[in-house]
Amino acid sequence: MQPETLMLYKLIILYILDRVDFPMSNAQLTNFITEREYTNYFNVQQVVNELEEDKYISKETTRSQTLYRITAEGRETLSFFYKKISKEIRDDIDIYLSQEKYALREEVSSLADFYETTPGEYVADLKILERDSFLIEMKLTVPSLSAAETICDKWKQKNADIYAYVINTLINDPNNT
């Protein structure tokens, strides 16, 4: 791959991450770039790995996904070179993000992971992320791996209902003074 082409792919990823106020998954970044046929999956993965190694992006990995954010170094680099991304590509990214921002944020806002604490005992670590803070974070101790997996899987579907229930119960409980 030509160095200029490689640099363009890196700048595209930095530009995307700079335009959102939430982390994005590897799949989200890859899908955008490959669906528009800017490059292929393998080049995206190479570029993402190099950006991470160079500390231009940071990554957080959970059981089910890897999330990326732009770092201060990445923002600074982008500020020097963003004009190397054509206006058409920048416009394409901006339009895509304005249309899909809510769906993209929803997709990565609920985090669920688990780990073993002692043999036969697991903790399901459940979170709802909004921007850089957690709306809710729960740790549930469960007696089996399958229970932890089930809880994490269902958290993705039911987290908004659970959050609403907790808030409603705590605010509107007549016994709560």
Structure tokens at 40: 């292929």
Q: Where do the domains of the chain lie?
A: 3-108, 109-172
The pLDDT assigned to 163 comes to 87
The pLDDT assigned to 39 comes to 92
Strand order in the sheet with 57-61: 24-25, 66-70, 57-61
Of 69, 62, 61, 49, the residue nearest 9 (C-alpha): 49
The pLDDT assigned to 176 comes to 56
Q: What is the pTM of this model?
A: 0.73
The pLDDT assigned to 41 comes to 93
CATH of domain 3-108: 1.10.10.10
Residue range 110-130, pLDDT digits in tens:
888 899 999 989 999 998 877
Residue range 146-165, pLDDT digits in tens:
999 999 889 888 888 998 88
Number of other CB atoms surrounding residue 27 within 10 Å: 12
Q: How far is CA 73 from CA 3, 18, 23, 35, in A?
A: 20, 12, 16, 28
Q: How do beta strands 110-118 and 57-61 pair? A: unpaired
The pLDDT assigned to 1 comes to 65
From the first residue on, what is the mean pLDDT of each consecutive set of 10 residues in the chain (177 residues)?
Answer: 86 95 89 92 94 94 81 96 94 93 80 89 88 84 94 88 89 69
